[in-house]
Structure 1
Amino acid sequence: MSAGSQTKLNFSVRKTRSSSKRSNAAIIEPPKNPEDSQIIPAVKRLKENLDTESLEQNEVLPPVKNESVLFLEKVFNAVDICVKFHLSINTKPTFVLLENKVSGLTKISLKITHLAQILTVWPESFAITPCFTIHQGKRVATYELSYPRNANLPEAFSRSIEFKRRLEKWLLEHCSETEIPAQQLQALPSLSKNTVNESSLVRKLNLEKSTSRELRIPTQTLEPKFTTNTAKYANELVSCSMLDSSSTLSKSVNSKINLKSHQSSSSVQNSSRKLTSSQLTLRQSSLFDRVRKKQKAMEAKKAEEFKNNLVVHTLAKEKVSFVRIIDLIFVQLSTWPTKRSFSMSEIVTSMQMSISSSLSPDQCAKAIELLSKALPAWCTINLLGNIQVVTFSRIVNGKPYLRSQLIEELQTKASITILSNS
């Protein structure tokens, strides 16, 4: 084979294009049919147009026609929240109350037309009825909002979704209308009816008073400057009035006499009644019972005083003072800084362990009871079932209760003799 001669190879080399997204080279083969190169781009364009049209059909939203339509959903949510709040606290949710609260929540002045528009979109959302209420010290006619009795009350979130769905449905059905029409509400009752009735009653009373005054003509108003007919008529009226007055006086006197006679007869009957022997025995027994109760109360009081004196004497004999008991309680309070109440058994056991004396548990409990009576502001004893609970107050008037204050209060009490420990 000579130099510079060209040789033909039996295989063909195809071009490759490197892709930035894929690591492997993609081999692009030309179409076998030359007409396919023109059909494939057209099919792609048609498919893209169909996809965009389907997306546009799925995302069709009703056009917003007015600001009232924009804010109606927000107004409904605010009104629903306020109505539920007022019903939960047992107050009447009237339009006068909701007006300020809804405007504060939505920054929109609530009007009755908004409520009527809500009813056109969802008639079963609220029951709006006219009523009377007192607003700023005046009786006002307004509307009361409540939920229908037969309606199932869903949650607030589902109610807002339901209203939004109904609003969108209404806007789709009424595309030609520029604004949501307001449903006609019941007319408010007028306050003039009651005023008319009151005025008519007042007029009737005034007429009756005037007629009664005209019938009772005093004798001093009559003057002798009358003709014969008028003078006769006046004399007849005076005589009639005198007869009426005399009859009323006689009736009052007779009624007083009857009352006196009835009282005298009843007193005579009571005096004539004599008590039987059984009644006398009952009275005597009730008197004896009262005397016995008083004696028992006095004996119980004396026994309690004797017990108290016995405890005081035993404390004095054992050289144990109330000041030492107070010190013991302060130590127990310091060991439990967050605790204010102790059972009686806890304090009694700590007293018997720390104080070397022959005091019985009952005597220790009695000493604490005496201390609670002497210092009720500091120590109180309460019953929790069968357990006596002793509570100590650590702070009085915002200041801690000091030991010196307690000792001063004990010294002022004359009923308990404080024995100082040597």
Structure 2
Amino acid sequence: MAFEGLAERLQSTLQKIRGKGKVTEADVKAMMREVRLALLYADVNLKVVKDFIQRVSERAVGQEVMKSLTPGQQVIKVVKEELTALMGGEAEKLAVSDKPPTVIMMVGLQGAGKTTTSGKLANLLRKKYNRTPLLVAADIYRPAAVSQLQTLGKQLGVPVYSSEENADPVEIAKQALKKAAEEHYDTVIIDTAGRLHVDERLMDELKNMKEAVDPDEILLVVDAMTGQDAVNVAERFSGQLGITGVVLTKLDGDTRGGAALSIRAVTNKPIKFVGMGEKLDALEPFHPERMASRILGMGDVLTLIEKAQAAVDEEKAKELEKKMRTMSFTLNDFLEQLNQVRKMGPLQELLKMLPGAGRIKGLDNLEISEKQLKHVEAIIQSMTPEERENPEIINSSRRKRIAKGSGRPVQEVNRLLKQFDEMKKMMKQLSNMQKGKKKGGFPFSFPF
């Protein structure tokens, strides 16, 4: 996950000052030295680092901190606010045309993930915002670019406009707009051609297309893993083409985060979306404040809630709540819940969105892989319908049969059944508390 190294360094630095009842200029200076090193290590632009350190230092030794009751926490608040401002302050939405269709040009260099991101954006707009997008294959130079977009469109159920007869990308874009108007598509996403580097021919073609289709958005797709190179590319595209926003791809990879922290300050263009995985639903609107909270170990509960709302069926959730209250929760229900959680993304990433998760020992070493979840699914699916409804009937011989059927050791079957039994006991305790049967507080304590 991006920012891991930066987050670890910043959280460690801020922890030293968190509980201080009095903060001196010397404390702030020492902290800023470490913050500066952390940002530079994360490949943040040097000028951006200098400006950030100056702003935080001035505020951290100002009256708002020195005269507050909790100076240590006030300094952390200043750092979070300035980190948020550095990334743009507030989330910026896509521009929407008053007269459909809204036209979005996707631009960038080869290898940044432009074609895949075009598909992801179409999917996001369709599912979350009820738009009816049309994808346009205007990259006629890269081998298989058109067929790649067509494959993505087929997977997503989104139509793709392409032309085998016309070899002019600008004309393809114009014809696509005509089709969108005739067939009532409200959003047109044009996947334009890229190059290995910014050159005059590329820019001329993009400028001609911009003039021809008058886009509402020109989104530059850059690879977050290229660090300062991504910032340099953004600066050149912004200066020559006039982009309206940036999409950072591969932010879930082994990237230090410098691009995300530098692009807004260098180009004055907002990051509008971030790619957080390879799946076609792994594109998220970029929220500077939420990202700042995650970097500083304060969690990102709003994004977690949004992921849950998108993955969980409301009617099934109500039915599940009723089953939990009446103690009729079965292994079938457990399997269904497991699949819904898997839709939300990797469990380690979800846990890191909880406030204070960064301070939980061993979380970074926690490995709950997709393979392990599939093992649990295989074990449950190897049970008979009766066994899933009544796990208490599963004796020693049944456990051996289930282990053989799922291809897993008997110990794993035993562990799953034990965990399920403990979970049901916990549900019973919670249910009893709600009915007012328990007195004298909670029967167990939460670790926060």
Query: TM-score range, shorter-chain basis?
Result: under 0.3
**TM-score, reference length from structure 2:** 0.16
Higher relative contact order (CA 8 A, sep 6+): 2
**TM-score, reference length from structure 1:** 0.17
The structure that has the greater radius of gyration is 1
